[in-house]
Amino acid sequence: MSEPILEVTDLVKHFPVQVGVLFKRTVGHVRAVDGVSFSLARGETLGVVGESGCGKSTLAQVLMRLERATSGSVTFEGRDIFSLRGQELRRLRRDVQIVLQDPYTSLNPRMTVGDLVGEPYEIHADVAPRGERRRRVQELLELVGLNPEHINRYPHQFSGGQRQRIGIARALALRPKVIICDEPVSALDVSVQAQVMNLLGELQTRFDLSYVFIAHDLSVVRHLSTRVAVMYLGKIVEIGTDDQIYEHPTHPYTQALLSAVPLPDPEQRGRREVIRLTGDVPSPVDPPSGCRFRTRCWKAQDLCAQEEPPLVDRLGHPSACHFAEERPRIVPTSA
C-alpha cells in the first residue's frame, strides 16, 4: 500500500467549559474529539458519520489546522501539520481545502463570485499570475457547472446548490490534494443534492483528489465513500470499507444507526430488523465510563461500564465493542 496522504493518530480536541464573567474558571471540558486515529489513502474517500455533536466538524477544523489539537498528531504527506512553518505551512494551506455545509452563510455576501473563487490567489499569488486570474476563475466556474459569465454576480443571486458549487470552485482554485467536505450536501434538496454529489465524484476522478467526507446521512456517505468511520461522542467506534460497515456492521451503534435509516421502499416495511435506541446522546462534558455507548446499548453488561472497549480488529475490521458481532437483516439487500 502506498503511503497515506493524511494520517491521524490519537487525536484529541477538548474545549474548556468556563464559568464566571470577570474571573473565568474552567469547570470541565467538552471532549469533542477524544482519541481518533485513521489514515486516508491517495484518491480515496473516507466517509465520517455520526449524530449531531459527536465531533465531526471539530475533527474537520483540526485537520484544517483551524483549531490546535489538545494532543495527538496529524501528518500530511508524512509531515506533522502542527509543526509546519513558513513555506511549508503555505504549501499545506494550498494542498488541503474545505467545503462547508451551509451555502447560505459560508460565502461573504458582499463579494462577487469572481472575488470569492479568486480570493485564494490573493494569498497564493504564485499559483496564478494576476493577468491570468480572471480566466482561471472562469474555467473553475465552468468546471463546477456554473455559467462563467456570472462572474460578477453576488452569492444571493444563486440558489443553494449553485452556492455550494461556488464553494467547491473556491476549494479547487489552488489545485488541492485533499478536500475536507463537512456536510456539503446536507442543506440541499434531493434533486440538487444528486447534482452536487455527482460533481464531487467527477472532480475526484479527474484531479485525483482525496476526500474526508463528513455527513450525517448514511445513504449519501455510502454513495461516495470507499471507507467509512462511525463516530460516537468523540470516538470512532467502527471503521472499515463501505461493504464492511454497511453490510457487515459489528458495533451495536452502527447497527442501530443503519436500522434507523428509513428506506425509500414501502415493500420493505416490516421486513427489516428494527433496533430502536432509547434516550439521547449523553453530554460530551461528562461521557459515561467504560464504553460511551453503554447508556443506550441494548447489549451492555457490567464489563462495559468498567472497561473501555478498544478499537480492534477481531471480525475482519476494527470495532470498539466488547461484544462485537454481526447481525443479519440490518440493511436488506436490494433486488
Partner 1 sequence: MSTVYDGESGEFVPPQEIAAAQDESLLQVLGLQVEFRTRDGVAKVLNGVSYHVNAGETLAVLGESGSGKSVTAQAIMGILDTPPAFVTGGSVTFKGEELLTASAERRRMVRGEGIAMIFQDALSALNPVFTVGFQIAEQLRLRRGMGKAQARAAAIELLEQVRIPHAAGRFGDYPHQFSGGMRQRVMIAMALALDPEVLIADEPTTALDVTVQAQIMDLLAEIQRERAMGLVLITHDLGVVAEVADRIAVMYAGRIVESGGAREIYRRPGHPYTVALLESLPRLDLKGQQLNTIKGLPPSLTDIPPGCPFHPRCRLAQDICRRQVPEPVPLDAARSSACHFTGELMDRV
Q: Under the rule (CB under 6 A), what is the footprint of ligand SF4?
A: 252, 291, 293-294, 297, 299-300, 304, 309, 321-323
Return the closest-CA partner of residue 210 out of 242, 181, 169, 167: 181
| Contacting ligand ATP within 10-29 (CB under 6 A) | 15
Sorted by sequence, the CB contacts under 8 Å of residue 128 that are 6+ apart come out as: 121, 136
Q: 172 vs 230, which CB is nearer to ligand SF4?
A: 230
Q: Strand pairing of 79-80 and 312-313?
A: unpaired
Q: Shortest Cβ distance from residue 234 to ligand ATP (Å)?
A: 7
Amino acid 144 reads V
Minimum distance, C-beta of residue 299 to ligand SF4, in the bound complex (Å): 4
Q: In the bound complex, what is the minimum distance in angstroms from residue 211's beta carbon to ligand SF4? A: 28
Q: Is residue 248 a contact point for ligand ATP (CB under 6 A)? A: no
Could you tell me which of 118, 91, 115 has the C-alpha nearest to residue 172?
A: 118
Q: How far is the CB of 253 from partner 1 (least distance, A)?
A: 9
Q: Is 25 exposed, middle or buried (0-12, 13-18, 19+ CB in 10 A)?
A: exposed
Q: Which residue number, 191 or 278, has a Cβ lying nearer to Mg ion?
A: 191
Check residue 55 for interaction with ligand ATP (CB under 6 A). yes
For residue 250, the minimal CB distance to ligand SF4 (Å) is 9
User: E-assigned strands of the chain?
Assistant: 6-19, 25-40, 45-49, 71-76, 79-80, 96-99, 178-182, 210-214, 227-232, 235-241, 312-313, 318-319
Residue 37, C-alpha cell as written in the block: 486515529
267 binds, among ligand ATP, partner 1, Mg ion, none (CB under 5 to 8 A by kind): partner 1
Q: Rule CB under 6 A: which residues touch ligand ATP?
A: 15, 30, 32, 50, 52-58, 216, 284
